Structure 1
Amino acid sequence: MVPKLSCARWHAVVAMFLLLGLILCRTGVAEEADHWRRAREQLTRIISQGVKDPRVLAVVSKTERHLFVPESQRKNAYFDMSLPIGGGVTISPPYVVAFMTEQLRPQPTDRVLEIGTGSGYQAAMLSPLVSEVYTIEIVEDLGRQAAERLKRLAYDNVRVKVGDGFQGWPEHAPFDKIIVTCSPEKIPEPLIAQLKDGGTMLIPLGKRFEQSLCLVTKRDGKLKREVLESTFFVPMTGRAEVLRHQKQDDGVPIVVNGGFEQHIGQGTPMGWYNLRQATVASDSGAPEGKAYLHFENKTPGRLAVALQAMGLDGRRFKEIEISVAVRPANVMLGDKESYSGVAVRFYDEQRARVSAARFGPWSGSASWSEHGTRFRVPPETRLVVIGLGLFGATGELAFDSLQVKANQTVVKGPFD
């Protein structure tokens, strides 16, 4: 027989279970918060290999990127990679956001205009470093969500507007700094007019898949432009798309600077972005010309890579052929996650990854040799990103004479 409990004892039992539930809940929340904190610390260490401003690094370590991506992408929030956030828009890799923030040289008195709010992550990074941030997003749902998110997270000096960033925000001009996170072919005239004399603009310019990140300064009404590096951003839409000379991508993949003979300054190859521990080297024995791309990594798990994006229409093409010359030197793969070679990622129209493939690995040491392979193209594909380098592997790896060809039919025959 089960003994009967008095009303008081029932209340005591219920209270005990509620207290236990509260303790477990708080423990779970604390553990989750600690997990995200450790992830940010690891990300900050990675970013600090290239970004040196301690103010920027402090903001990276405190900004909760997992709150700026969709729930389905939170597990990837602190990897150094772009992630889809809806509407064909992506959130840039954290290193790119930190690098751009550092290049902007934000000051506590600055009033900053951002074009391309996205999820609000870049605005959140700028918020503690400047006086005011004005940010414009053309995709209404994204702009509304970003405004709600930034308000909820108490970024009180950030104002969000839904509209065409090409036109800027004249009611609050002039601005000390302007940062553009989408790519027009040319600098929009309204943004030039709204930049304060002596001010700085950071903007990616160029074709749909071939862009340069430019630092623009305005002095006495004149612009001085410095190309920092090649990059890849979503295109600026709205008025900028109307004015774009090449309005549509034909979906035919074309490698830019696959022989690495063209470079920006000392050692930075044109057409390649997100470079990590990668430099252009010169050798008369290189397979194509004198230049080649050289990677070196001494720390297991660290990336030494370079990326290039190109259009690829999976409705037209069934497969792609990739050929490249490779020279490994003391390459060690390490754990099962590490890799050395070519990484291929296929994306759909919304910039969501469809599938991925790899070509390699190459380990040990060897002289120059040529390799080739084929990959099936998923029909949803509209974009392909080619990555070269050491993906956690150590040693040195050189690439030259990269070529990509799209086939409308599946080619039969041997190919390594």
Structure 2
Amino acid sequence: MAYKFIDNYRERGARKKLVSFLRDERKIESEDVLKAIEKVPRHYFFDETFWNQAYRDIAFPIGEGQTISQPYTVAYQTQLLHISPGEKVLEIGTGSGYQTCVLLELKAQVYTIERQEKLYERAKLFLNKMNYKAEFFLGDGSRGIPQHAPYDKILVTAGAPFVPEDLLKQLKIGGICVIPVGDEKSQKMITVLRVNEHDYEKIELDTFRFVPLVGDKAW
């Protein structure tokens, strides 16, 4: 993890190009999401040796068998959440903390959980140094964080074999969960709307490939 905070015209220009690519080529429509991505210095999450990779539309290893997500994937999932300022968002899989920062730029109140202790400690320290404020938890994300439920939105950043019921129960009525569901090789992005106390509406969207969601209610 790079702790050297240099963000000059070159990096800012690279972010602008990335945002233009996401808008024009990847068809991301939410200007709020694009503005959030433009604000977050993605190269901060890379060792300085690999800063030239930071604004490519690719995932990149961060250790512990995990990756920092592809910018398109971050934009795609975030757009599906339709976040309004002040909403309470549960993020399953903190990872590098990059997605967390994008959610915070949208002025969400973010609760984020990570099962890998090294990544949890690193992200918690690093985001604090960047002045991003979220609530961090170490534990099994497939179970959510029930003590702070209900949530307006839930975002799962790892591939699950099914939608964990524990997470759905932690959604507010009218809330949205975005989660990739499938096998360990590919998943369909699923949005789940909680209609009432007992009913949910699910929509299956595009195919992605995520690292697996590991936990009692997942792999």
Check whether the contact 1:198–1:219 (CA below 8 A) recurs between aligned residues.
Answer: yes
How many residue pairs get matched?
A: 212
Deviations 1:71-104 (A, max 9, x none): 4432200000000000110111101101111111
How far apart, CA to CA, are the structure 2 residues paired with 1:152 and 1:165? Answer: 24
**Equivalent position amino acid for 1:53 in 2:** S
How far has the Cα of 1:209 moved from its partner?
0.6
How far apart, CA to CA, are the structure 2 residues paired with 1:231 and 1:182? Answer: 10
How far apart, CA to CA, are the structure 1 residues paired with 2:47 and 2:143? Answer: 29
How far apart, CA to CA, are the structure 2 residues paired with 1:55 and 1:171? Answer: 30
Task: Please name the residue that 1:185 is paired with.
Answer: 161
- Find out whether 1:61 has 2:41 as its counterpart: no
Residue 210 of structure 2 is aligned with which of 227, 233, 255?
A: 233
**Equivalent position amino acid for 1:89 in 2:** Q
- Find out whether 1:199 has 2:168 as its counterpart: no
Residue 167 of structure 1 is aligned with which of 122, 132, 143?
A: 143
Check whether the contact 2:81–2:153 (CA below 8 A) recurs between aligned residues.
Answer: yes
How far apart, CA to CA, are the structure 2 residues paired with 1:217 and 1:151? Answer: 32
Check whether the contact 2:143–2:217 (CA below 8 A) recurs between aligned residues.
Answer: no
Gaps of 5+ in 2: none
- Find out whether 1:210 has 2:155 as its counterpart: no
Task: Please name the residue that 2:117 is paired with.
Answer: 140
How far apart, CA to CA, are the structure 2 residues paired with 1:65 and 1:132? Answer: 21
Task: Please name the residue that 1:334 is paired with.
Answer: none
Q: Identify the structure with the greater strand proportion.
A: 1
Check whether the contact 2:176–2:191 (CA below 8 A) recurs between aligned residues.
Answer: yes
Task: Please name the residue that 1:35 is paired with.
Answer: 10
Corresponding residue SS for 1:239:
coil
| Aligned pairs for 1:397-412 within 5 A | none
Q: Identify the structure with the greater helix proportion.
A: 2
- Find out whether 1:98 has 2:75 as its counterpart: yes
Gaps of 5+ in 1: 1-28, 245-416
Residue 85 of structure 2 is aligned with which of 104, 108, 129?
A: 108
Task: Please name the residue that 2:97 is paired with.
Answer: 120
The alignment's TM-score, normalised by the length of structure 1, stands at 0.49
How far apart, CA to CA, are the structure 1 residues paired with 2:186 and 2:72? Answer: 19
How far apart, CA to CA, are the structure 1 residues paired with 2:66 and 2:78? Answer: 20
**Equivalent position amino acid for 1:195 in 2:** L
- Superposition RMSD in Å: 1.5
**Equivalent position amino acid for 1:238 in 2:** G
Corresponding residue SS for 1:192:
helix
**Equivalent position amino acid for 1:126 in 2:** L
How far apart, CA to CA, are the structure 1 residues paired with 2:90 and 2:65? Answer: 22
- Find out whether 1:74 has 2:68 as its counterpart: no
| Aligned pairs for 1:4-403 within 5 A | 33-49=8-24, 50-156=27-133, 158-220=134-196, 221-241=198-218, 244=219
Deviations 1:27-81 (A, max 9, x none): xx98x61111111111111011211211111111111001123344322000000
The alignment's TM-score, normalised by the length of structure 2, stands at 0.92
Corresponding residue SS for 1:56:
helix
How far apart, CA to CA, are the structure 1 residues paired with 2:110 and 2:50? Answer: 26
How far has the Cα of 1:224 moved from its partner?
1.0
Check whether the contact 1:214–1:226 (CA below 8 A) recurs between aligned residues.
Answer: yes
